[in-house]
Structures are given as C-alpha cells and as structure tokens.
Chain A
Amino acid sequence: MEIRSPAFKENARAALDDPQLRHALEHVKSGFIVKRAMAAEALPEFEKLRDSSKAIKDETLANLDKYLEAYETKVTESGGHVHWAESAADARDIILKICQSVGARTVTKGKSMISEEIELNDFLEGNGVQPVETDLGEYIIQLRGEHPSHIIAPAVHLARSQVEADFRRVHTHLPVDRDLTEPVTLLSEARKVLRAKYFQADVGITGANFLVAETGTSVIVTNEGNGDLTQILPKVHIVLASIEKIVPTLSDLSQVLRVLARSATGQDMSVYTTLSTGPRRAGDPDGPEQYHVVLLDNGRSSMIGTEFQEMLRCIRCGACMNHCPVYHAVGGHTYGWVYPGPMGSVLTPSLIGVDKAGHLPNASTFCGRCEAVCPVRIPLPKMMRHWREREFSRRLNPATQRYGLKAWAFFARRPRLYRLATSIGIPVLSLFGGRGRFKSLPLAGGWTRHRDMPAPEGRTFMQEWKQREAQKQGARI
C-alpha cells in the first residue's frame, strides 16, 4: 500500500477533526481494555505465562535459522511445500505462480496482515486473479477500497451505517427494500454472499498466527470460522507467514495461545484454533490437495542481532494499540502504513526505513501502557527511543526540532542556569494561566488546538521536590 507515514502530522490533524472516527474509536477505549483486564485477572498464572511466552520467543529468535530448517523438514515430510521469499515481490510472484498453476480465477483469503504488507490483493487483481477477503471486517474494507485500521479489528473505524451503505452499493442482486438496520442482518448478508465465494475459489490463502517446528504445522486463530472455510474448501491452501512466527513445539504453542486471545479480545481461547499439517491424506473426504507455505523475510532477518530483535517476539494481539492514548486519539490509518499503534511505531521504521516513518516513534507520550500489557513484554517505549536517537543522529528530524532540543540540552547540562530559567518562566506562565488552563499558547498551537494546556500552579518541580524532601526530613526528626 502507498506509504503515507511521512504525512503523519497531516493525517493526525484530519483524524482529530473527524467526529465519526472519534465516535468509532470510543469502542476501542471501552471494550478491549476492560475485557483484557478481566481475562488476565481470572487466570492466576497469566503473568507467568507472559514470562514463559517471552522466553519461548527469545529462544526461537536466538536460533531462528535452525528452527526454520527443522520446520521446513517437517512440512516437506507431510507432503507440503515451503517457499522462501526474501522480499514482498518474491512472495507475490510465488503466490501468483501457484495460483496460475491451477488456473485459479478466484482466491478466498483469511485475515493476514502480511498480505497487506506485500500488497497482494492489487497484484493478484492486476494479474487476473480475483481475491476475496472473508473476515467480516476485511471484507467490509475491501468493498471500500480501504486498508485495516487495526490489526485484529480492521474495520473498527467504521460505523454500522457506513457498512449498510457499502452492502447496498455492492450487493445489487439483493432486494433494495431489505432491512439492514440491525448489525446481525449485515452479518447474515455477508455470510450468505461469502458462502458462495468459498465454493467458487480455487485457492485459499490464510496467514498463520504460529508455525510449529516440531510438526511442520501452521496455526490460525479466528472467531468467525472464515479462515477454516478458506483453507478446507479450495483445492490449494497457501499459508503466508513471516519467518518469526515459529515456535519450537506444541507445548510452546500451548503457552502462547493462552496469552494471545486474552491479550487481544479478552477471550480465554478464540473460537477456532486450527492446526494444519500438509495436504489432505489418502482417504480424507475433504481438505486441500496442495499445501504451500510462503515464508516471508522482507527485512526481518536484518533486525536479528540489532537492538530491534525483541520486536520480532510480537504475536500481533493488538493490546498495545488498544491501550495507546495516541491510537485512541488518531486511529490506525493515521500511521500511514500496515501496522499502527506502538508496535507499528517500532516495526514500521524497521521495514520501510526511519526516513519515511520517523514521525511514528515520535508519536508517543511514553506513558508505558503498551509495554505494561504486551504479552511478550516487548520494551516498546525503549525501542521508540532508539528510533528517535537514530533519527537525531542521522539528522532526519526538522531543524526547528533539532535547535529546540539543542537549546534544551544547553540548559539541561547547566543545572543552576536551568533552575534559574524555570523559576522565572513558571511563575510567568502561572500568572497568565489564571483559570488553570490555556486555550491557546504561542508556539504550542499543535498542543492547544485539540486540548487545553494545564497552567503551572506557581512553582517548579525542583522547588516542590526540595520542599517535600525538607518536610520528610523534618518529620523524621
């Protein structure tokens, strides 16, 4: 997809001025957070499972080449084919060739963020193969020509009425006077339309939540059952997965499954967890005749051995964006590429370059909620800081920002001068901010445009701190 990350600031401004989007984002703030907290609370071992999952992913990444080879051996043994794709273009070509080898005209697809990353749909369409997204949210945004705004709730930015309008526009074979006011009627209509597609499709493409080296198995986790119909009805099943999806064994899979659904939707277990190994066996009444796995690198192997290796632990649960105040404010499309929220702010610069994605790691208040809820404990704020440092040292951020930082650094390195300056500045601000808040401030329009700036109450932090320490001393004596 077109990279719009360099326009993050413009995107954010537009998002903040969109009342419909603001309303839709309320669903993220309220629903996901409470559900995750309840699920975590209900399982006493949850924190230990997070540690365990982190350790499993660390072990896998430390020997990723070996686990990939072990996985490949098992896939081949079970009659499947493994294809290695260094780049997005390689992956697209491999998939198109498989589709063409069976004369495919229609391809159904389960939800896959990597498919967005390699821009598969446009490519297939341009080559005469019609891709049909089957996850309800993905189907809706495909009808709209949009991209997912959330990695597990792709249409979270839309209102029911927008979906109704799209269905009426596209499903022209259905009666015009049908009632679509209830969400359930929309769901039933999508179910019916997509059922026919599953049976038409020659190839089914799914992603993978995990790949198991012990058995050569791909694992998908869904609530709708669309991924399953996608992979059992067509003649060919293609799994599109990135190289870091590996876990060593089925025992390890048990660990990560327990944190995935709880962190994502607050479910103990998603409705369908499906393990697929090779094509259908002799005598099987159903299942695909061919099973292919496309292993995508696309920049990931270059993250191994760097300060960004830990990002490859990510299991794509979406908890970081669900808990992110910046995501809540601007939504997923603002980030301008495939992966939004805190995980996107770290991963996107790795995959498309910090020169294009430099705004993303800066779009953080460093509040730390993302790291606090990450099931595999990725230090997201620390990694955003790494990107900011790189951006600064490569002189990629704007001159005003650099001068500002330099000016601040000048004072910060001279504590007495710093204290003197703030002890003059703070009372002045306090004087003008009589009602406790500024509605506008010179040089801080970016802040005050969408929210007030709290006025200081009269003294600096250092002064407050000194007084509190003195009081403590006094109390002790």
Chain B
Amino acid sequence: MSGREAILNRLRVALREGKDDATREQAVQARIAAAPRGVVPMRGRLPDDDRVTLFCAMAQKVSATVERVGSSANVPGAVAAYLRQRNLPARVRMGADARLGAMPWNTEPSLEIDSGRAQDEDLAGVSHAIAGIAETGTVVLHSGQDNPTTVNFLPEHHLVVVRAKDIVGDLETVFDQVRQTFGKGHMPRTLNFITGPSRSADIEQTLLLGAHGPRALHVIVVDGD
C-alpha cells in the first residue's frame, strides 16, 4: 500500500463514524464551491476617500513610506525624486507591466530602466500592485509574464504603484477579485501580500528593518485615472 492510501485509509476509518464517505465528499465539494465568508472586520468598510486614507496610515504604521500623486503621468517623476532624495543612482528595475509601460517615462530622461527579472545588485525596483488592502496597509502583487516576482524581493528599495480605486477594505475582496481574474479555483504562480519593508527581530527581539528583502518599501498611490 502506498503512503497515500495508508494515510487516507487511516483518516477514512477514523472519520467514517458520523457520516458515510459520499455524504462527506458532497459536503466538502459544496463548501469549497460556496467558499463562505467568515468574519470580515468593519475597519476597512469605509467610503472611498477614508479607505484610501486608512490604507496610507496603516502602511506608514508598518514603516512603509507613502506618497499620493494626482495621476499616473506623475509616477515617473515621483520615482526619480525618490531616488534623488536618497542619493541613489537614477536606475530602476521594472517588469513589462502594461500599466507601468503606459506611463511617460521619457519625462525623466536621466532615469535608466532595466527590464526583466531582478538581479542581485539592483538597488531599486518598481512594481504595479493589483490592489491595496486598507485593513492592514498591504499591497498585493502577482507574478506573470510582465511581473517578475524577484523585483519584489531582491532590490534594496521596492517602489510599488497602486491605483487609489484598487484599494479595497479587506482580504476577502482581493480574493474575490483574484477568483474573477483567474477563474475560481485558479491562481497565478505567486500572489504576494506585502505589508511594510522586510524585518527581523531574531537577535534579542530587537526589531530591525532590511532582513533579506527590501530595506525600504515606498508606496505610490495614484489618485486620478
């Protein structure tokens, strides 16, 4: 008997007591199909403006920096200014995301853009989030042809663009959108929920930023468009 059969058989025998296998199978399939919502905190259920404000406050609370721009046309300028203010070279790593691609990067002629997956030596990376979550100040990103996951983790500075209209109240709303985009039961290879910059408290429980992932997380919220 294979390990699979042995484990499943043991479980089956132990669980059969109450209901028969077929009834349980049906109930399980129905529960997965219905995916009932549990307790959703009221915290994120706010009018649009307040929700964006809460998102920004929660992100700052976990040591992200946040800036709001009026339109996606302002993003290249905001990225260049971020690098200048921190004395970083005018160079970013970026995937081939269509939303980022449509922005007027030529307004920043001195800014060099490296495309493709991130490299070890990259200092700054720019990504576009599919959503922000107000209840925790989290940005949500997924992998795909245009979105290398390495950009989220290798550079020292991670700049994430999120549209204000994509900022939702809670986790459940993001999962509903993912189900809609990819089809129920299907997922992108990687779905990243990122809440602040990388950190560790493993040495004497002292909290330090910049463990293995980015030392800084900068969120650019695009209000217009």
| Chain A residues whose CB sits within 8 angstroms of the CB of B150 once the complex forms | 232-233, 285-286
Contact across chains for B42 and A45 when beta carbons are under 8 A apart:
yes
B-contacting residues, A354-380, CB 8 Å? none
| Chain B residues whose CB sits within 8 angstroms of the CB of A154 once the complex forms | 202
Chain B residue with the shortest CB-CB distance to A68: B8
| Chain B residues whose CB sits within 8 angstroms of the CB of A253 once the complex forms | 171, 175
CB distance from B35 to the nearest CB of A (A): 4
B-contacting residues, A110-155, CB 8 Å? 134-137, 140, 153-155
Contact across chains for B153 and A225 when beta carbons are under 8 A apart:
yes
Contact across chains for B11 and A284 when beta carbons are under 8 A apart:
no
Give me the interface of B with A, judged by CB distance under 8 Å: 2-4, 6-8, 10-12, 14-15, 17-18, 24-25, 27-29, 31-32, 35-43, 58, 62, 95, 116-118, 120, 135-138, 143-145, 148-150, 152-154, 170-172, 175, 178-179, 184-206, 208, 210-214
Give Cα A265 to B199, complex, Å: 12
CB distance from A208 to the nearest CB of B (A): 14
- Of the listed stretches A156-164, A337-345, A467-475, chain B binds A156-164
Give Cα A265 to B35, complex, Å: 28
CB distance from B177 to the nearest CB of A (A): 11
Contact across chains for B58 and A268 when beta carbons are under 8 A apart:
yes
Give Cα A287 to B149, complex, Å: 7
CB distance from A97 to the nearest CB of B (A): 13
Contact across chains for B189 and A64 when beta carbons are under 8 A apart:
no
A63-B15, A90-B3, A269-B195 known; A286 vs B148 contact (CB < 8 Å): yes
| Chain A window 256-283, contacts with chain B (Cβ cutoff 8 Å), 1 for yes, 0 for no | 0110000001011111111111111101
Give Cα A159 to B185, complex, Å: 46
| Chain A residues whose CB sits within 8 angstroms of the CB of B10 once the complex forms | 297, 301-302, 304
Total number of A residues with any Cβ neighbor in B under 8 Å: 101
CB distance from B197 to the nearest CB of A (A): 7
Give Cα A367 to B202, complex, Å: 28
| Chain B residues whose CB sits within 8 angstroms of the CB of A7 once the complex forms | none
Give me the interface of A with B, judged by CB distance under 8 Å: 24, 27-28, 31, 43-45, 48-49, 52, 56, 59, 62-70, 74, 78, 83-86, 90, 134-137, 140, 153-156, 158-160, 163, 183-184, 186-188, 191, 194-195, 199, 213-217, 223-226, 228-229, 232-233, 243, 248-255, 257-258, 265, 267-281, 283-287, 295, 297, 301-302, 304-305
Contact across chains for A63 and B190 when beta carbons are under 8 A apart:
no
Contact across chains for A229 and B153 when beta carbons are under 8 A apart:
yes
| Chain A residues whose CB sits within 8 angstroms of the CB of B144 once the complex forms | 281, 283-284
Q: What are some 15 contacts across the A-B interface (CB < 8 A)?
A: A43-B43, A66-B24, A84-B4, A153-B202, A154-B202, A217-B191, A223-B199, A224-B200, A226-B212, A248-B28, A252-B35, A281-B188, A281-B189, A302-B10, A304-B11
Contact across chains for A136 and B14 when beta carbons are under 8 A apart:
no
Contact across chains for A136 and B11 when beta carbons are under 8 A apart:
no
Give Cα A66 to B29, complex, Å: 9
Contact across chains for A187 and B172 when beta carbons are under 8 A apart:
no
Which residue of the partner chain, among A67, A86, A214, contacts B185 with CB atoms under 8 Å?
A214
